[in-house]
Structure 1
């Protein structure tokens, strides 16, 4: 009796070659790019939809990363973690209260005075330009500085107003009520106390060993980056403010801390120094030049001596990729996006390098 052919096992179908392996690399890239673009567009829509909740979460996470750094330092000194957390939270609350009562009102007051006096500064600068223009005509020099300086002054004024409006929009979106302030503080304390379990639960959705690797990479990168950036910003803010006070610069506290705080965003302090120097030059040319020279010297000392000791090659990113990451971060998240763009890009780079090394083995 003729037997029926045995049914093929399902294992016979497992050796089907992957169709993507036959596609040329350039075509694979062409197929992947629309997917990346679509996912990026969906993420931007999700970010806009979740505001201001996402800004509150990011702010609380950044504060938790900053607070965790001194907590780990105290733990290395032999202090129990619970006591270290209590000490750091009390110190952080004390610093926040002192800043809220002293420094922040002064900066806000000087900023409002600067915006109010800016038209008079521009008018004074225009008179200086007219004087230079008359001298050039007397010397029979064909130089037309009026339009150039007027355009430059208008751009500086617009840049200052744009920056001010963006800062105010961030403050209003994240701290527009007492409820949001309490949410930020509460989430910060919660993340400091139980952040490890929260991150472990989030990354548990990833396959092993990437759940542990990626979590550790993000924690180390963000903690080290923001802790060192905060130290650098504090040092530069205090130093610039002291120098500006010695030079009798108007709005010295505002300008000093503006230069220092913009160091949190790569290359932003350079733009801030240029804007401040031009603003001061409109009123007093010599003072503007002195401020420009002093800010550049202090910045170079900070970049050449202090920053390498604290940061080293922490990010490992090429300047081109830093600029690209800042552009994308600014588009997606505004100022908060600019703050986290570099560490996120650094984590992506380290993860990509790990994937490439694992595939090459």
Structure 2
């Protein structure tokens, strides 16, 4: 039967495979929605396990045993979590609360400045109807800033309030680090050869390299933006710097965050808002042009158009988690599709694009040494 299918025209084979894949994807989406929040907890724990497994394997490459590598990484992770829980997170929440409290005053100041600009435009008899344009901008800006600040605080408080889910994620992460190998062996054993080996290597390589690199880049950008904002004496510098860094986990999101932060600061002081915009763009470009290529390289291999479409679809179906998973998942689909297309167009040739299990560690380690 498989031979008969391979003898069909290429376009007909794609026409048969596409509706089957679409139906399976739709059923999987319904199942995920039914099992929430268990699926989100499992995916979050899996991502954390990927991040922890990366330094563990780097230590193993340097001759440290698995047990000691896991112990050392977990101790460092616990120290980092303690610092975040006791110092950084309370500071960010306090600054966020203060920002929400002072926002009405800043909005009033910004509205007054915009009104002065409107009066100046009328006095100069400008040909455009700047009165209506500026009024609409002020109204939209007020609504957006208030909505985003309120939703952001509610999201943070809701996430921190879910103590049970957080503990569940941490416990599950520990088990995945120790026993994840057996779990993935069982899952991929249901996939026929050679796709079980190929997909496993692709997923491990793409996801591990992507999230490990993105986590490092987000940390570097958060620290650098915060330091620059402190030098410029920006109010709520830690909140704004960390927010810009964390949103860099989603491609192109940090640009929107930089613009939003600059607009918020411009409400109170437009000169400071302009300085922050210029400084944040410079720091972001240094991060993108100097640090990112050395860590990321060509991990995704996606055209920017497909990247944007993947982000849109991921956000549509799974919100923030979907945005985080969209890029590596789309990269896996692209690589698997390229291999499938090659197999369909070259049925007499054998091609298994296996990725060595330690390729991600060796690649990033080599980039860091350079």
Q: Is the pair's TM-score, using the shorter chain for normalization, greater than 0.5?
A: yes
1:25 aligned onto 2:21: no
Distance 1:35 1:190 in 2: 34
Segment of structure 1 superposing worse, 146-155 or 132-141: 146-155
Q: Which has the larger radius of gyration?
A: 1
Please report how far the alpha carbon of residue 38 of structure 1 lies from its aligned counterpart in structure 2 after TM superposition.
4.4
Aligned equivalents of 2:262, 2:114: Cα separation in 1? 16
Query: CA separation in 1, counterparts of 2:216 and 2:199?
Result: 26
Partner of 2:123: 138
Where structure 1 has 5 or more consecutive residues not aligned to the other structure, the ranges are 1-13
Q: CA separation of 1:239/1:27 partners in 2, compared to 1, >3 Å: closer, same or farther?
A: same
CA distance in 2: counterparts of 1:129 and 1:350, whole angstroms:
51
1:201 paired residue number: 186
Query: Quick one: distance in 2 between partners of 1:196 and 1:226?
Result: 19
Task: Determine the C-alpha separation between the residues in 1 that align with 2:134 and 2:124.
Answer: 20
Is the Cα–Cα contact under 8 Å of residues 129 and 146 in structure 1 kept in the other structure? no
1:236 to partner: Cα distance: 0.5
Partner of 2:328: 343
Task: Name structure 2 gaps, 5 residues minimum.
Answer: 347-370
Q: CA separation of 1:316/1:272 partners in 2, compared to 1, >3 Å: closer, same or farther?
A: same
Output one character per residue of 1:109-132: Cα deviation in whole Å (capped at 9) or x when no partner: 211222222222121111111112
Change (3 A) 1:256 1:307: same
Match for 1:304 among 268, 281, 289? Answer: 289
Per-residue CA deviation, residues 290-332 of structure 1 (Å, 9 max, x unaligned), is: 0110011111111111100111111000111111111111111
How has the CA–CA distance of structure 1 residues 159 and 208 changed in structure 2, closer, same or farther, with 3 Å as cutoff? farther
**Secondary structure of 2:192's partner?**
coil
CA contact (8 A) 1:200 1:215 kept: no
- Say whether the 8 Å CA contact 2:96–2:153 is kept in structure 1: no
- What is the aligned-residue RMSD (CA, Å)? 2.5
Distance in 2 of aligned mates of 1:200 and 1:168: 39
Aligned length: 345
Instruction: Map 1:1-361 to 2 at 5 A.
Output: 21=8, 25=11, 29=15, 37-160=22-145, 161-162=147-148, 165=151, 168-169=154-155, 172=158, 176-361=161-346
Whether the aligned pair in 2 keeps the contact of 1:61 and 1:191 (CA below 8 Å) is yes
Find the aligned partners of 2:89 and 2:42 in 1 and give their Cα distance.
Answer: 23
Moved more, 249-258 or 47-56: 47-56
How many Å apart are 1:360 and its aligned residue? Answer: 2.8
Q: In the TM superposition, what whole-angstrom CA distance separates every residue of 1:187-244 from its partner, at most 9, and x where no partner exists?
A: 1011111111111110100001111111111111111100100111000000000111
Contact 1:156 1:279 in 2 (8 A): no
How far 1:282 moved relative to its partner?
1.2
In the aligned structure 2, how far is the partner of 1:268 from the partner of 1:359? 37
TM-score, normalised via structure 1 length: 0.88
